[in-house]
Amino acid sequence: MSVEPLPDWFFPPPGGWTADDLDSLPPEAPRHLELIDGALIVMAPQRSFHSRVMLRLGGALDAAAPEGIGVEIERTVKLGHRQRPEPGIIAFRESGPDDDRTFHLPEDVLLVVETVSEESEERDRETRPLKYAKAGIRHFRRIEEEKESPVVHVYELDDVTGRYVPTAIERERLRLAVPFLSTSI
């Protein structure tokens, strides 16, 4: 059995990967890549639970979003020179129709949502929340699967500590006023 060599684009450039390098990858690169601590991470295919939760919650957030707030699924946030994670869902301040960036900036992001999967447990529960909090993103949601249903862990940024603090655990219905939304999950 022969092993295919890795493509040239997969090897980091001199000095390592940066957030801007994600925009210059060739078309044959995987569609869902993120950069955490300068490491290029290829996102694994998601289970149906993950996709359904993102679709439903993304749609509910979009329907509840006030004027000037956009909602997107699987779009990167440029947190720094070597940080460009791809949250499952983000809500952000829209900057206008001529914005052609492939990422959002943390100062425009109101909410990030991560749906935990087996391959990303540590990143979703530990690494990403620390990075989002450090970047000043006010609201973070982590969705876990419990008995084949979503459970939403709700966090808000504490200005004193600069870390997320838990504010709720929601099952069946997401009852939140910040940054907006009250809907079934």
CATH number reported for the structural domain that contains residue 107 in this entry: 3.90.1570.10
Number of domains the chain is built from:
1
In a domain, 148, yes or no: yes
In a domain, 38, yes or no: no
In a domain, 107, yes or no: yes
For residue 179, what are the CA distances in angstroms to 84, 125, 153, 182? 23, 21, 15, 10
Q: What is the pTM of this model?
A: 0.89
How many percent of the chain have pLDDT more than 70? 92
Q: For 46-105, what is each residue's pLDDT tens digit? A: 889 989 999 999 998 998 888 999 999 999 999 999 999 999 999 999 986 656 788 999
Question: What confidence score (pLDDT) does residue 121 get?
Answer: 93
In a domain, 9, yes or no: no
In a domain, 59, yes or no: yes
**Domain limits for position 49:** 44-184
